[in-house]
Amino acid sequence: MDTTAIYSEDFKIRASEVDVTGKITFSSICSLFQEVAGNHALLLNFDITDLHKKGLTWVLHRMDISINDFPKWRETVTVETWPAAGDALRAYRNYRILSAEGNVLGVCLSYWMMINMKTRRPTRMTDDILNTRLSDRDHALPVTSSKIPPIKDSSLRKNILVRRSDLDMNEHVNNAHYLDWMEEPLNEGQISRTKSIDIIFMKESLYGDSITSIIQTNKDGSTLHQLENENNEIIAKAHFSTK
């Protein structure tokens, strides 16, 4: 298997993946990214089921997403992905969304870590993964180490209870739901104007947790988002921008 090649899949946008305007939601976009990443990892023998046998799993740490044009219900898109080398504790995966005509609709750079399933702490990647020749092509977006500032003025907030249907195969909340929760206190106008999201996942969330979604609106129209659990621990934070 050529690990330097771009992997792609075609998807027809379903009614369950769009919002009230008929455009795909950010959380649905993330679900498509997770699908192609998992399928590509299976081909490269990086699959989560292979890691589980070793007591390890992949955890998404950060996603930087930029969308130029949101595909609509029943449109067919191609989602491309390619992994890139990071270091012993972090790996990158890139994504592009293409229209049927081949136009770039959106891009994403994701940051991944491997964790020990017993300790739930990051661990060094296995030698077979570290020794794999990955793509040296440019990232879809520049790598960033910038911090997302904590919220100081939280005028918008909403409480959310974690349901069993929110969980994934790792028995914690699927990352796509974090974006839904972050959008929940926004009005439709604010959601429709969002073009890019930089989100950092900090802690796991489990069934029965009580989550508070908090938002701060900045002078430039962008918003800062925090998800906090009942212990006032920040489990995720993000910056939403209209640019």
Overall number of domains in the chain: 2
Are 196 and 116 in the same domain? Answer: no
User: According to the model, what pLDDT value does residue 135 have?
Assistant: 63
27-48 pLDDT tens trace: 999 999 999 998 998 887 777 7
User: According to the model, what pLDDT value does residue 192 have?
Assistant: 86
User: According to the model, what pLDDT value does residue 126 have?
Assistant: 76
Can you list the residues of the chain whose pLDDT is less than 50? Answer: none
Are 108 and 19 in the same domain? Answer: yes
What residue numbers bound the domain in which 231 lies?
A: 156-241
Are 31 and 83 in the same domain? Answer: yes
Residue 18: which CATH number? 3.10.129.10
User: According to the model, what pLDDT value does residue 43 have?
Assistant: 85
Are 120 and 186 in the same domain? Answer: no
Are 24 and 93 in the same domain? Answer: yes
Residue 58 is assigned to a structural domain of this protein: yes
User: According to the model, what pLDDT value does residue 198 have?
Assistant: 98
Are 25 and 87 in the same domain? Answer: yes
User: According to the model, what pLDDT value does residue 153 have?
Assistant: 78
Residue 145 is assigned to a structural domain of this protein: no
| CA separation, residue 215 to residues 57, 104, 223 (Å) | 31, 30, 7
User: According to the model, what pLDDT value does residue 74 have?
Assistant: 98
